[in-house]
Structure 1
Amino acid sequence: MTASILILGGTTEAYALADCLASRPGLRVMTSLAGRTANPRLPAGETRIGGFGGIPGLVDYLRQEGIAAVVDATHPFASAMGWNAAKACRSVGVPLVRLERPAWAPEREDRWTQVVDWEAAVAALQTGGSKRVFLAVGRQELAPFAGLEDIWFLIRVVTPPDPMPHFRAYELLLARGPFDLESERALLDTHRIDAIVCKNSGGEATSEKLVAARERGIRVIMRERPERPCVPLAASVAEALEWVDRTLGRGEP
């Protein structure tokens, strides 16, 4: 009998999990992508693109597709989807696990200012005297910083913002990780960066900028992760695979 697994995806871990599960017999693997990226890389198995229509839409989808288990492998800052998934799965009795990479933690030499929102990050920049800031917050969250007219920004995004907020002085860098340490060192040095603003996304793909900042004593303004619902957690793809096996009553493939 075939069991249907829904992966709420978009992250590196989601793609890796789909690769592992799609090769297993007796499993139908479906990955849902939010659709915010043009021409996204398609994961193994089946793919659906776009929102569900809130909690009611997700409930209908779980029932119509006969989903046996859900893995929420969305980005650590995709909090709305996380809450919707928890409520929808609870209402129809479908098991749910959250696959979430561990958060970054500051080391002794780091100069981190941890903030809960972008308003606090803006205030930290205003009081910290930064003049050349590396902004790595994603293309949809640039607007709060556009009013800081006495700061030059290096803005790194995967795809161009549309519309682009009005920054007085900036350079737009289109690039997709992972980024190695040497290139991050060169980036900070070439642009004379004195502060970095980013999210605590965790993982290795974009962590080298933090190492380079530590080496140079550069200040990092780090947005903390939003609150998530209390659901079972898997810190790695291997742990998520073990959870799937336990949940579906399957042994090792």
Structure 2
Amino acid sequence: MCWRVTGKVLILAGTREARLLCASCGGLDVLASLAGATEAPRDLHVPTRVGGFGGASGFVAALDGVSAVLDATHPYAAAITRRTVRICGQRDIPYLRLARAPFAPDWTWTRHADAGAAADALPSGAAVFLATGPGTVEPFLDRGLTLHCRRIDPAPAREGVNWIVGAPPFTDSEERALLALLGVTHLVAKDSGGDRAKLNAAGDLGIAVHIIDRPAHAGGEETHDIDQALAFVRTHARKLADH
């Protein structure tokens, strides 16, 4: 007879999907992990560690006693996912990637392999709303662009960038009013799926939309279904004694 081994399930979090998943993990031995990219992350209501693992060796050490890994990081957290797939494969630890589904394709969008290609495609003088996060600003600087970049946390002023501080969700009307107020001519976004408000607003206003494609698939099983991800956690997580 083949016995299923249960223990602590490590949930790599940081997304809305991870929050929804963790909210359903009461009574299960799970540990959520946040990279610490935001100053005030939302409470996941399960035991949570904050901060990086300290490279591959630190991640291997963190897997001691872990029965499975549920990777619910952002679809563009490619380096984290590649490392996790590789190490879980080497150590024969069950792995599942929970990623939100991409946006439904739109023929009016211009698609690019990366931020550099998107920046190259923008005309000088364009008023750009960069909805890809502050980590992708560099390729767009010094190109004669009026650059508005949304981020979650406040940041020091930076020459050539107008920081727009805000966290989702946003409504279509809020996004429409913001883009119109800023006089945006081009929207740059990732194919992250989920909230379409900025894309709907850009379409309503006739703003050119440039989409940065997702990184290549890192391997490992993947699902867009939170219920399937929860079933994976329940399969591999032991039940806590006080429940």
Are 1:101 and 1:203, in contact at CA under 8 Å, matched by a contact in 2? yes
- Residue of structure 2 in register with 1:155 after alignment: 149
Are 1:52 and 1:58, in contact at CA under 8 Å, matched by a contact in 2? yes
SS in 2 for 1:77: coil
- Residue of structure 1 in register with 2:208 after alignment: 219
- Residue of structure 1 in register with 2:41 after alignment: 40
- Residue of structure 2 in register with 1:8 after alignment: 12
SS in 2 for 1:179: coil
- TM-score (ref. length: structure 1): 0.86
Are 1:82 and 1:228, in contact at CA under 8 Å, matched by a contact in 2? no
SS in 2 for 1:193: coil
Q: Residues 210 and 79 from structure 1, CA distance in 2 versus in 1: closer, same or farther, beyond 3 angstroms?
A: same
SS in 1 for 2:52: coil
1:141 deviation in Å?
1.8
Pairing partner for 2:188 from 194, 197, 210? 197
Are 2:17 and 2:226, in contact at CA under 8 Å, matched by a contact in 1? yes
SS in 2 for 1:30: strand
For residues 143-184 of structure 1, what are the alpha-carbon distances to aligned partners after superposition, in whole Å with 9 as ceiling and x for unaligned?
2212122x222222111345x5421xx532111110001111
Higher relative contact order (CA 8 A, sep 6+): 2
1:47 deviation in Å?
0.9
- Residue of structure 1 in register with 2:23 after alignment: 19
Are 1:118 and 1:144, in contact at CA under 8 Å, matched by a contact in 2? yes
For residues 43-99 of structure 1, what are the alpha-carbon distances to aligned partners after superposition, in whole Å with 9 as ceiling and x for unaligned?
121111111122222111112xx1111100000111111011111111221100000
1:247 deviation in Å?
4.8
- Residue of structure 1 in register with 2:113 after alignment: 116
In 2: Cα distance, 1:54 partner to 1:180 partner? 38
Are 2:72 and 2:97, in contact at CA under 8 Å, matched by a contact in 1? yes
In 2: Cα distance, 1:165 partner to 1:249 partner? 48
Letter of the 1:166 partner, please give it: E
In 2: Cα distance, 1:82 partner to 1:210 partner? 27
1:39 deviation in Å?
2.5
1:171 aligns with 2:172: no
- Residue of structure 2 in register with 1:132 after alignment: 127
Aligned-residue sequence identity (percent) comes to 36
Q: Residues 248 and 51 from structure 1, CA distance in 2 versus in 1: closer, same or farther, beyond 3 angstroms?
A: closer
In 2: Cα distance, 1:172 partner to 1:47 partner? 30
Letter of the 1:235 partner, please give it: H
How many residues align? The count is: 236
Are 2:29 and 2:238, in contact at CA under 8 Å, matched by a contact in 1? no
In 1: Cα distance, 2:20 partner to 2:68 partner? 17
In angstroms, what is the RMSD of aligned CA positions?
2.2
1:92 aligns with 2:91: yes
SS in 1 for 2:233: helix
Structure 2's unaligned 5+ residue stretches are none
- Residue of structure 2 in register with 1:144 after alignment: 139
Letter of the 1:158 partner, please give it: I
Are 1:89 and 1:96, in contact at CA under 8 Å, matched by a contact in 2? yes
1:242 deviation in Å?
2.1
Matches within 5 A, 1:228-239: 228-239=217-228
1:249 deviation in Å?
9.8
SS in 1 for 2:88: helix
Deviating beyond 4 angstroms after TM superposition, the runs of 4 or more aligned structure 1 residues are: 246-250
- TM-score (ref. length: structure 2): 0.89
SS in 2 for 1:153: strand
